[in-house]
Chains A and B, each alone.
Chain A
C-alpha cells in the first residue's frame, strides 16, 4: 500500500512540476542562484544514486559483482555505446562475475 501511495504522490507531483514550468513566468529562472542550483541537483542526485546503488546494501557498504558491472558500464559509455547496451551489457558482466566467484 505504501508503494502505491509513493507511486501516486510522486507521479502526480512530477506532472505538476512539469506544468509549473510551462505556467510560471520565465523571470524566475533569471535569478542565477536558482538556475545554478536547479542545474546541479540532477548531477548530485544521479551521482549519489550510482554510488548507493553499486556499493550500498542496507546500512552497510559492500564491494561485489555490481562494482564489476559499473566498470563495464564506464567502458561502454567511453565507447559511446547506446543506453540499452550500457544497461544490459553491465548486467551481463555482473551476472558473469557472480557466476565465476
Chain B
C-alpha cells in the first residue's frame, strides 16, 4: 500500500471504531432477550446474529414471529430491510477497493455503523481501518451480547411481565428516529404506519408491514413524476 497512515490518525480511527463497536454491540442483549421472548430458541437467536448480522432485519424477523405472523413473511420483511446494506455496499466498494475473497469476507461486515465510520475517511487505508475495526468489534460484541441476552431471556419467565413486548416497538422506533430528519421521510413514516394499522384487521400477521413497503415505492415514484417538470424549466 503506497499511502501510510500517521500514528495519530490511526489511533483516532481505532478508538472511534471501538467506541461505536462497544455501544452498538451491547444492544445485542436486547435482541437476544426479545428474540427468545418471541418464541425462537437460543440457537436460532444466535444463528440470526452470526449469519444475518444486521440489527434491524433481525428485529424485524423476530417481531413478525412475535406478533403471530408466518416466519417466512418475517424473513421477507428482514430481506427488504436488508436492501439498504446493498446501497451501503455500492458506496463502500470504490472506497475499500476489495476484490476476491477479501470482498466476500468484508461483505459480511457491511452494516449501518461500519459504513458510517468509513465513508467519511479521505484515504483508502483510513477507510479500510475504520470499516474493519468498527465492523469487527460490532460483530464480536453483538454476538456475545446476543448469547447473554438470549440466555437471560429464557430464565425470566413471561416476557410481558417485564414489558419486553413493548421493548420491540421501542427498538424499531430508535432505529427509525435518526431517519426522520426530513419532511419527506416523516410523511412517509406516518403514511406507512397508518397503512399498516389499517391493514392489521384485514390481512394475516406480517403482511401489513409488507403492504407499508408499497407506500415507500409509491412515494418514490410519485415524487419523481412531480419533479420532472422542474427539470425542464
Contacts and interface: CB of A to CB of B under 8 A. Distances in A.
Contact of B166 (A2, A13, A82, A91): A91
Contacts, number: 333
B169 A54 contact: yes
Interface residues of B, number: 107
A70 B82 CA distance: 24
B85 A40 contact: no
B205 A58 contact: yes
Interface string B139-182: 00000000000000000000011111111111111111101100
B193 interface: yes
A44 B212 contact: yes
| SS class, residues of chain A in contact with chain B | helix
Interface string A1-15: 011111111111111
A6 B80 contact: no
B125 interface: no
Interface residues of A, number: 79
Given A17-B85, A40-B220, A56 B205 contact: yes
B27 A87 contact: yes
Q: What 7 pairs across the A-B complex have the smallest Cβ distances?
A: A21-B89, A69-B166, A94-B163, A48-B212, A11-B51, A94-B166, A90-B170
Interface of B: 23-24, 26-27, 29-30, 39-40, 44, 47-48, 51-54, 56-57, 59-61, 63, 65-68, 70-72, 74-94, 96, 98, 103-104, 106-108, 110, 160-177, 179-180, 184-185, 188-197, 200-201, 203-205, 208-209, 211-213, 215-217, 219-221, 223-224
